[in-house]
């Protein structure tokens, strides 16, 4: 594929879980890009986003040929443009599973999103776990465990090596840390916790966290 100049427009790193997903994929694959941030929760936020994104949401990827918006669409685009990075597993069955759990993350887990919003730098007591939230957490633990057992035994990620599925679930890992979720209470045999630790200790996640800290400092100065 010909080289492409990328600019990824994102929201604040402390709050924007959708921005983290393609950003992490680009970093993990060492694909060069320029980062452009729009401050969220500001009077001009909506206008700034609309100036860059037809959907009125972030993230959006600016390319030499146009725009790609929506996190999962950007991840699909990157997989097509950079096939040697194997952002989807090479084996057909694994690739289908990776796409399925990524789409499930994209469309589902509404209770988790509402009751445990992303606050990367926050550390809170675990909230009251109602039936809907319990169901979401148990399902995620099951997804991680089954992916690791079936496809990920050769490496630390869901499908052995880093894939778009890991990018899709990375913000959930940070949410579990933020809200002190003990995965052992939701059916984890230890594999989900180990996977979460893998994500949290990625240099790219540490870089994102440092960026969030810098941005939060901007808010108080």
> All domains of the chain, ordered by start, with CATH?
7-85 (3.40.30.10), 92-203 (1.20.1050.10)
Alpha-carbon distance of 42 to 98, in angstroms, equals 36
Rounded to an integer, the average pLDDT of 167-182 is: 98
| pLDDT exceeds 60 at position 8 | yes
- Strand segments (E) across the chain: 7-10, 34-37, 60-62, 67-69
pLDDT digits over 63-102, tens only?
Answer: 999 999 999 999 999 999 999 999 999 999 999 999 999 9
Percentage of the chain lying above the pLDDT 90 cut: 90
Instruction: Calculate the alpha carbon distances from 155 to 21, 194, 195, 203 in Å.
Output: 20, 12, 10, 17
Q: What is the pLDDT of residue 3?
A: 58
Q: What is the pLDDT of residue 127?
A: 85
Q: How far is CA 190 from CA 120, 161, 182, 184, in A?
A: 23, 19, 11, 7
Residue 41 has pLDDT above 90, yes or no: no
Q: For 185-200, how does the pLDDT look when each residue is reduced to its tens digit (9 = 90+)?
A: 999 999 999 999 999 9
| Residue 218 confidence class, pLDDT cut points 50, 70, 90 | confident
pLDDT at 133 over 80: yes
CB contact at 8 A, 72 and 103: yes
CB contact at 8 A, 19 and 13: yes
pLDDT beyond 60 at 2: no
């Amino acid at each position: 594929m010909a080289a492409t100049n990328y600019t990824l427009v994102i929201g604040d790193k402390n709050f924007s879980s959708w921005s983290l997903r393609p950003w992490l994929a680009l970093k993990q694959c060492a694909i060069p890009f320029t980062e452009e941030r729009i401050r969220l929760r500001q009077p001009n936020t909506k206008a700034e986003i609309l100036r860059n994104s037809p959907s009125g949401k972030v993230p959006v990827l600016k390319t030499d040929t146009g725009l790609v918006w929506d996190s999962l669409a950007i991840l699909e685009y990157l997989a097509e443009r950079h096939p040697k990075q194997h952002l989807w597993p090479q084996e057909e069955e694994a690739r289908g599973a990776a796409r399925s759990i990524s789409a499930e993350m994209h469309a589902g887990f509404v209770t988790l999103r509402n009751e445990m919003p992303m606050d990367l730098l926050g550390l809170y007591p675990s909230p009251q776990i109602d039936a809907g939230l319990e169901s979401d957490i148990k399902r995620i633990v099951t997804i991680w465990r089954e992916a690791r057992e079936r496809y990920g035994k050769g490496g630390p990620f869901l499908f052995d090596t880093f894939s778009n599925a890991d990018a899709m679930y990375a913000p959930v890992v940070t949410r579990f840390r933020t809200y002190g979720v003990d995965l052992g209470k939701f059916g984890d045999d230890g594999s989900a916790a180990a996977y979460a630790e893998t994500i949290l200790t990625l240099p790219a996640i540490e870089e994102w966290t440092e960026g969030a800290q810098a941005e939060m400092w901007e808010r108080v100065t």
